[in-house]
Structure 1
Amino acid sequence: MHDLRAIRENPEIFDKNWARRGLAPQTSAILALDEQRRALQTQMQELQNRRNVASKEIGQIKAKGGDASALMDEVAAIKEKAPALEAEEAALAEKLNGILSSLPNILDAEVPVGPDEDHNVEVRKEGTPKTQSGPDHVAIGEGLGMMDFETAAKMSGARFVLMHSGLAQMERALAQFMLDTHTREHGYTEVSPPLLVRDNAVYGTNQLPKFSEDLFRTTTDHWLIPTAEVSLTNMAADMIMDAESLPLRVTAFTPCFRSEAGAAGKDTKGMIRQHQFYKVEMVTITTPDQSAAEHERMTNCAENILRKLELPFRTIILCEGDTGFGARRTYDLEVWLPGQGKYREISSCSNCGDFQARRMKARMRRRGGKDVEFVHTLNGSGLAVGRALIAVLENYYDPADGGVFVPTVLKPYMGGLDKIMPLDANARVLQAAAG
């Protein structure tokens, strides 16, 4: 959401910034609606004032035994006119709010110029990618006998997977390792949040109204969360927090649900893009003066997970045409996937400024102050668990026997196991029967 007063004062700044995202000028229509609404509000206020004055005069006239019928008729006419004006003002307010809700966040000045992902800028790169390509995660997982897309499709359709044995254990190990690292080393507090939320929650984190087609809605008018960002960020909704208590850093491991309506035909094979996946999310609520530094910190926390897993990765800053709707500035972490022979996104860390806070009415008050300010919100994947599993499978694959070495940091979570080995034929039959 945007500050309407700021748009009134500097409309050219907003139009110029939105143009960076490829949008035509917007402020003329916004200010025209705003002027109409404010004129109506003034008219309504004047009528209310006149009604109050007339009502007082009626009482005075009646007290003296006079005839107040003319004034009474005037008050009745005002009362009759008021509902229509109120309805007109409400309609204008709804229309204005609809426009403001549909417009993306203002980009940070440091966001690189460019219309699409080809213009994103690499910030740093760590690790040495394997020069020799190997099988992708689908071939590896099916070769292990532990990744089953066919059975998942029978019960749920496309973009689902069923995993068992060592791969199911490694998925759980990855999530536990990420949570432990973020809570014990990075200062985040673990949260177990709701997976079903109401309209106001997904509106607050800017999934509604623009991205409704990418969400799953239940018959009870709840939404399945597309990311724990929704639940975690809304912890600050409708609150006035003490500035001294910030930053608030929280993390959660949850399933995430996305319809992928805007990704038809993309990554249809394998686990890269699914309707249900697991993610460890980081969210920070902080003061405006801390948010830039917090963005760097959060990104480093996500990078640290990849360092500990000893996976090659690079960090890029998204250009203006690729930066998400609610973000002012975004870093993407891309992990090297030998099976695809390229880097793929595994985390996105965004500074949303006060954009979400305005929608959620998330505010703070500084010590000794009377005024309230909007907080800044940040979110980042720390990491996408499924994609981390893909990266481990492809980077730790052993072509000699089809097994997958267990990264050192995961061994304590895997009962000390050094390597996941393919199931033998008898074990596969038993697994299939058990399923």
Structure 2
Amino acid sequence: MHDIRFIRENPAAFDAALARRGLAPLSADILALDEKSRALKTELQQGQARRNEASKAIGQAMAAKDMAKAEALKAEVAALKEGTPALEAEEAEVGAALNAMLAAIPNLPADDVPQGADEAGNVELSRWGNVRAFDFAPQDHADFGPALGLDFEGGARLSGARFTALRGQMARLHRALAQYMLDTQTGTNGYEETNPPLLVKDEALFGTGQLPKFAEDLFSTLRSVSSLEHFVNRINEALSGQGQPGWSGNLNALIQQEYLTNPEVRREKLWLIPTAEVSLTNLVAEQIVPTDALPVRLTALTPCFRSEAGSAGRDTRGFIRQHQFEKVELVAICAPEESDAEHERMVQAAEGILQALNLPYRKMLLCSGDMGFGARKTYDLEVWLPSQATYREISSVSNCGDFQARRMNARYKPEGEKATRFLHTLNGSGLAVGRTLVAVLENYQQADGSVIVPEVLTPYMGGITKLEPR
């Protein structure tokens, strides 16, 4: 969400920042709605003030036996009262339109973000590690992984494309990676381990910027939250052979009808989180965080769920782009003056995992056209995949400034000040477990189809030092 006062005071700068995002100027449209909203608020306030003043004057006129004046004042109060609902409705409509426009605009890029339209404009900052020289042609993990326990066919039978079952030693390696990441981010890097909900309300996804713009990228579910007694009674009637007229005798059909379509059953939509960033960041929503509690650093290992809308044809083979995957997420909440340093610290926490696993990677600074909706500055870490002979994203670490905090109304009160300020929020992967698994498989693969287990993972593997083909 954007600060309307900043737009009022800096319309040209706001439009220039939008241009860096590839967007047309919007300040004129925003300020026109803002001016209309403020004018309607003023008219409502003035009308209420006049009603109060006239109501008081009615009593004075009647006390003075001036009935003509009293009647005239009564008529004025009635007219003001009659016109108020329409004004209130118009003010609410204009205010909603203004908020919707502000909510649909992405964050403004930081000054040091390079200009660019897409990933071609990203800037490589550094590389780490030596790319392995193979004495055989390295294979894609999708080719040799099934013999090690990557069950693509089983996952697809259960749930469809882009779902995979991990079995045996492969499941153990995946768990070892996740636990190693979580232990490192908590024990070494000082993030507080958190076990958050995986299902969240609309407000949580709005707060972090996934709604309303990216609803198609999410999975949702419905639950019944009322009329349970009615539902149970209907099923009991059916079971006892006393179904109401129109019942076909098909219990499944009755359940479908009663639970999903009956207007007496109120349903609540909940969303499966696309990343633990949603749950972790929203823990401070509508809160005033004590200054001495900052910075708040949180981490969580959770499943993540993404429909991958708009990604048809991208990484459909293998384990890189899945509808369900696990990730160790990092979130930091801090005062504005701390966020740049916190950003660098978070990137280092993610880099440390790759270095410990001895996986070659490069660090990229994303350009203005390739950043996520809520980010003002983003670093990507890209790991080397031998089968593709290229670097692929494995972590994205973003500073969102106060963009999310404004949407969530997350604030703090600086010491010695009466007014509150909006916090800054940051998030990043530390790391995506599935993509790290792919990187380990490909970089540690052997000519015979086995995979050496990285040394730092052996304490988590129960004595397994090598994955052997079945």
CA contact (8 A) 2:290 2:413 kept: yes
Corresponding residue to 2:115 among 101, 113, 116: 113
Q: Is 1:130 the counterpart of 2:155 in the alignment?
A: no
* Superposed counterparts of 1:234-245, under 5 Å: 234-245=282-293
Return the alpha-carbon distance in structure 1 between the equivalents of residues 332 and 62 of structure 2: 63
**Aligned partner letter, 2:140:** D
Identity fraction in percent: 60
Return the alpha-carbon distance in structure 2 between the equivalents of residues 38 and 387 of structure 1: 50
CA contact (8 A) 2:376 2:401 kept: yes
Give the deviation of 1:371 after TM superposition.
1.3
Return the alpha-carbon distance in structure 2 between the equivalents of residues 80 and 232 of structure 1: 47
Corresponding residue to 2:101 among 93, 99, 102: 99
Q: Which runs of 4+ in 1 moved over 6 A?
A: none
Q: Tell me the equivalent position of 1:403.
A: 450
Q: Tell me the equivalent position of 2:33.
A: 33
Q: Is 1:216 the counterpart of 2:219 in the alignment?
A: yes
Instruction: Note the residue ranges of structure 2 that are not aligned, 5 or more in a row.
Output: 224-268
CA contact (8 A) 1:140 1:394 kept: no
**Aligned partner letter, 2:122:** N
Q: Tell me the equivalent position of 1:272.
A: 320
Return the alpha-carbon distance in structure 2 between the equivalents of residues 383 and 287 of structure 1: 25
What are the superposed Cα offsets for residues 323-371 of structure 1, whole Å, 9 maximum, x if unpaired? 1110000000000011111110000000000000000000001223211
3-state DSSP class of the match of 1:218?
strand
Give the deviation of 1:271 after TM superposition.
1.1
**Aligned partner letter, 2:9:** E
Corresponding residue to 2:84 among 75, 82, 85: 82
**Aligned partner letter, 2:58:** I
**Aligned partner letter, 1:219:** L
Q: Tell me the equivalent position of 1:317.
A: 365
Q: Tell me the equivalent position of 1:285.
A: 333
Note the aligned Cα RMSD (angstroms): 0.9
Corresponding residue to 2:278 among 215, 222, 230: 230
Structure showing greater radius of gyration is 2
What are the superposed Cα offsets for residues 207-230 of structure 1, whole Å, 9 maximum, x if unpaired? 011111101111130010000000
Return the alpha-carbon distance in structure 2 between the equivalents of residues 266 and 63 of structure 1: 82
CA contact (8 A) 1:242 1:367 kept: no
Q: Tell me the equivalent position of 1:185.
A: 188
CA contact (8 A) 1:135 1:394 kept: yes
CA contact (8 A) 1:244 1:366 kept: no
Q: Tell me the equivalent position of 1:296.
A: 344
Return the alpha-carbon distance in structure 2 between the equivalents of residues 308 and 176 of structure 1: 14
Q: Is 1:202 the counterpart of 2:197 in the alignment?
A: no
Give the deviation of 1:64 after TM superposition.
3.4
Return the alpha-carbon distance in structure 2 between the equivalents of residues 392 and 18 of structure 1: 40
Q: Tell me the equivalent position of 1:418.
A: 465
Corresponding residue to 1:142 among 140, 146, 152: 146
**Aligned partner letter, 1:115:** A
Return the alpha-carbon distance in structure 1 between the equivalents of residues 329 and 21 of structure 2: 27
Give the deviation of 1:131 after TM superposition.
4.0
Return the alpha-carbon distance in structure 2 between the equivalents of residues 181 and 226 of structure 1: 23
Q: Tell me the equivalent position of 1:160.
A: 163
What TM-score do you get using the length of structure 1 for normalisation? 0.95
Corresponding residue to 1:255 among 303, 313, 316: 303
What are the superposed Cα offsets for residues 39-60 of structure 1, whole Å, 9 maximum, x if unpaired? 1111111111110100000122
**Aligned partner letter, 2:203:** N
CA contact (8 A) 1:244 1:367 kept: no
**Aligned partner letter, 2:452:** F
Give the deviation of 1:422 after TM superposition.
1.2
CA contact (8 A) 2:365 2:380 kept: yes
Which stretch of the first structure deviates more once superposed, 241-250 or 382-391?
A: 241-250
Return the alpha-carbon distance in structure 2 between the equivalents of residues 409 and 61 of structure 1: 89
Return the alpha-carbon distance in structure 2 between the equivalents of residues 17 and 262 of structure 1: 26
Give the deviation of 1:31 after TM superposition.
0.4
